[in-house]
A and B are shown apart, each in its own frame.
Chain A
Amino acid sequence: MNLAEIQGYVYLVMTIVMVGVLYSYIVYLYRSEKKGEKDYEKYGNIALDDNIDSKPIEDMPEPKNEK
Chain B
Amino acid sequence: MQSNAAMEYDYSIVKLFMWTTVIFGFVGMLIGVLIAAQLAYPELNYLLGEYGTFSRLRPLHTNVVVYGFTLSAVWASFYYSAQRVLKVSIAESKFLMILTKVHFYLYFVAAAALVVTLLMGITASKEYAQMEWPLDIVIVLIWVIWGVAMFGLIGIRREKSLYISMWYYIACFLGVAMLYLFNNMAVPTYFFSGGLGSIMHSVSMYAGTNDAMVQWWWGHNAVAFVFTVPIIAMIYYFLPKESGQAVYSYKLSLLSFWGLMCVYLWAGGHHLLWSTVPDWVQTMASIFSVILILPSWGSAINMLLTMKGEWNQLTENPLIKLMVLASTFYMLSTLEGPIQAVKSVNAIAHFTDWIPGHVHDGVLGWVGFMAFAAVMHMAPRVFKREIYSKSLLDAQFWVQTIGIVLYFASMWIAGITQGMMWRAVDEYGNLMYSFIDTVSVLHPYYVIRTLGGLLYFVGMVMFAYNFYKTATSGRKLETEPQFKSPMA
Contacts and interface: CB of A to CB of B under 8 A. Distances in A.
A31 B211 CA distance: 46
B17 interface: no
A48 B8 contact: no
A1 B427 CA distance: 50
B444 interface: no
A53 B255 contact: no
Nearest to B7: A52
B65 to A, nearest CB: 27
B240 A44 contact: yes
Contacts, number: 100
Contact of A29 (B4, B81, B88, B254): B254
Contacts of B258: 22, 25
Interface in A35-67: 40-41, 43-48, 50-54, 56-61, 63-67
Nearest to B255: A26
A35 B350 CA distance: 51
B85 A63 contact: no
B485 to A, nearest CB: 15
B163 A43 contact: yes
A56 B156 contact: no
Contacts of A58: 159-161
Contacts of A46: 85, 159, 161, 163
A47 B83 CA distance: 11
A66 B158 CA distance: 11
Contacts of A33: 251
A47 B262 contact: no
Interface of B: 1-5, 7-9, 81, 83-85, 87-89, 92-95, 156-161, 163-165, 236-237, 240-241, 244, 246-247, 249-251, 254-255, 258-259, 262, 480, 483
Given A25-B258, A53-B7, A67-B93, 16 more contacts: A26-B255, A33-B251, A40-B251, A46-B159, A46-B163, A47-B84, A47-B240, A50-B85, A52-B7, A52-B87, A58-B160, A60-B157, A63-B1, A64-B157, A66-B92, A67-B92
